[in-house]
């Protein structure tokens, strides 16, 4: 069993986000994984980045911050604390982080 408060857990030092269009920094802490599924906490500063979920489904719960997530199909969602977001396998789009976002996530590769 692993337990970590999503809001108060210290994350590793932030690193440049590879898909950022605006020099964002991100940090992630993996809490558990079995090769097909991983669970953790992630945080990213303001800016814009692309995301590609062609190989995995992501389920995330926004703990803090605000942003807008827009799919290639034009659908969009404004997200903030308490939002539950599901990005099914095959989803591609853009995140615009208005205020540093922290989320807990589950990635399912199977």
Which residues constitute the domain of residue 44? 15-108
- Counted domains in the chain: 1
Q: What's the chain's Rg over C-alpha atoms?
A: 13
Task: Tell me if 62 is assigned to some domain.
Answer: yes
E strands of 1-110, at which residues?
Answer: 15-16, 25-33, 37-44, 47-53, 57-71, 76-79, 84-87, 91-108
| pLDDT value of position 55 | 95
Is there a domain that residue 44 lies in?
Answer: yes
Task: Determine, yes or no, domain membership for 6.
Answer: no
Q: Within a domain: residue 4?
A: no
| Segment 11-68, tens digit of pLDDT | 999 999 999 999 999 999 999 999 999 999 999 999 999 999 999 999 999 999 999 9
- Give, as one character, the DSSP assignment of residue 46: S
Q: What is the pTM of this model?
A: 0.94
Note whether residue 101 is domain-resident: yes
State the CATH number of the domain containing residue 71.
2.60.120.10
Q: What is the pLDDT of residue 66?
A: 99
- Burial profile 72-105: b = 16 or more Cβ within 10 angstroms, e = fewer: eeeeeeebeeebebebeeebebbbbbeebbbbbb
Residue 3 counted as domain residue: no
């Amino acid at each position: 069993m692993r337990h970590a408060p999503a809001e108060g857990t210290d994350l590793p030092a932030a690193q440049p986000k590879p898909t950022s269009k605006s020099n964002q920094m991100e940090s992630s802490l993996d809490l558990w994984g079995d090769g097909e599924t991983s669970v953790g906490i992630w945080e990213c500063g303001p800016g814009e980045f692309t995301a590609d979920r062609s190989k995995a489904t992501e389920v995330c719960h926004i703990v803090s911050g605000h942003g807008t997530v827009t799919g290639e199909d034009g659908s969009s969602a404004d997200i903030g604390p308490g939002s539950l977001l599901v990005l099914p396998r095959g989803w591609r789009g853009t995140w615009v982080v208005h205020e540093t976002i922290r989320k807990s996530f589950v990635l399912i590769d199977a």
